[in-house]
């Protein structure tokens, strides 16, 4: 199956999730859809989840996945399984008890910090990162206990290393590329990748142009990052995500409207570009053309993130 560990729609209740059917050309798979980030209140995230879940329930070719067995069943018939993720702990409202409720609504991955420091720790765009806070450590413990995967994407380097040190379950970088291939503050170092791998986690190489190179959302650029990641952490700890914004124009406007959340590394190469699902679904063929064997292709396209889910998710009641 093709497993996209992070994609984005417009974060409004009226967003149309029908575009998620664009993954069906892969012949079955999984996508995690973002339902909130740092500016969002718990109330807004809850409202988005109600709307998004209802849309997926009603859509042909999409189905909510509560377990890994669900994902296997949905993908096997050629459809797309859907779960959700959060980029920041802000939508928790400071309440660790909210984690369990969000898991019950299908949120399975959470990054504690979005670009800039908060109660949990430091962000990847901060000049100084003091590491995971006491509350941040408690948050990671709660994620581990409830079956939500800790995510280091957008998080400061020191804070991610602390996350890996304290987590008892796999830590992922759901959508982060390799800084050794392309220098960008949103990309991660080889040491960060190794730390996640040591937890059993996965680095998800993503299709955002400015993270792949100078705004180059191509399969060739993605494969360069994949090759390096595999060299650093091994084939069992590398996966993929698009980080595709189905609301691209809205997100570009958001970058301009909220400079406190972003820096010029998001704009210096012109209008932000993403790899669309129609290109992403051809990744397996591109890897095979470079000599990758079928087992390795399957691991990176979905098998490795599936393993993390199987090791991390708790059955919903």
Q: Round to whole Å and give the CA distance between 268 and 9.
A: 24
Range with the poorest average pLDDT among 126-135, 279-288, 308-317? 308-317
Query: What pTM value is reported for the model?
Result: 0.97
What's the pLDDT at 212? 98
Predicted pLDDT of residue 315: 54
Query: Which among 63, 49, 308, 36 has a CA at the least distance from the CA of 199?
Result: 308
Confidence of residue 317 (pLDDT cuts 50, 70, 90): very low
Contact 122, 158 (CB under 8 A): yes
- What's the average model confidence in pLDDT over 116-122? 98
Cα–Cα distance between 161 and 171 in angstroms, integer?
10
The ranges assigned to domains in the chain are 88-312
Task: Look at residue 104 in the predicted model and tell me its pLDDT.
Answer: 96
Which range, of 32-46, 70-84, 259-273, 287-301, averages the lowest pLDDT?
A: 259-273
- Report the pLDDT averaged over residues 49-58: 98
Q: What percent of the chain has pLDDT over 90?
A: 96
Q: Which two tokens stand for residue 119?
A: 């109660």
pLDDT at site 94: 97
Kindly tell me if the per-residue pLDDT of 316 is higher than 60. Answer: no
Average per-residue pLDDT in the chain? 96
Strand-pairing partners, residue 241, are 206
- Express each pLDDT in 169-213 by its tens digit: 999 999 999 999 999 999 999 999 999 999 999 999 999 999 999
What is the pLDDT at residue 123? Answer: 98
For β-strands 2-7 and 149-150, DSSP reports them as unpaired
Q: Residue 314: what pLDDT?
A: 77
Q: Which CATH code for domain 88-312? A: 3.20.20.140
């Amino acid at each position: 199956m093709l497993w996209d560990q992070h994609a984005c729609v417009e974060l409004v209740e009226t967003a149309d999730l029908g575009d998620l059917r664009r993954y069906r050309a892969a012949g079955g798979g999984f996508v995690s859809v973002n339902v909130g980030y740092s500016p969002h209140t718990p109330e807004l995230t809850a409202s988005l989840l109600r709307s998004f879940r209802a849309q997926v329930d009603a859509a042909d070719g999409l189905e909510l996945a509560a377990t890994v067995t669900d994902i296997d069943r949905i993908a096997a018939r050629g459809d797309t399984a859907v779960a959700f993720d959060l980029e920041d702990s802000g939508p928790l409202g400071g309440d660790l008890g909210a984690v369990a409720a969000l898991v019950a609504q299908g949120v399975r991955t959470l990054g504690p910090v979005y670009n800039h420091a908060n109660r949990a720790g430091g962000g990847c765009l901060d000049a100084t990162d003091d590491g995971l806070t006491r509350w941040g450590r408690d948050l990671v413990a709660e994620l581990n206990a409830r079956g939500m995967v800790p995510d280091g994407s957008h998080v400061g380097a020191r804070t991610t290393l602390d996350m890996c040190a304290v987590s008892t379950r796999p830590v992922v970088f759901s959508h982060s590329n390799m800084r050794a291939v392309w220098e960008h503050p949103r990309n991660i170092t080889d040491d960060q990748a190794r730390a996640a791998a040591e937890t059993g986690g996965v680095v998800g190489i993503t299709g955002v142009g400015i993270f792949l190179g100078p705004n180059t959302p191509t399969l060739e650029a993605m494969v360069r990052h994949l090759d390096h990641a595999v060299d650093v952490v091994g084939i069992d700890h590398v996966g993929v995500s698009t980080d595709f914004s189905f609301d691209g124009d809205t997100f570009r406007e958001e970058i301009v409207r909220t400079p406190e959340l972003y820096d010029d590394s998001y704009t210096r190469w012109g209008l932000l570009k993403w790899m669309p699902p129609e290109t992403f679904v051809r990744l397996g063929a591109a890897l095979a053309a470079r000599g990758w064997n079928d087992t390795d292709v399957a691991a990176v396209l979905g098998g490795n993130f599936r393993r993390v889910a199987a090791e991390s998710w708790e059955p919903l009641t």
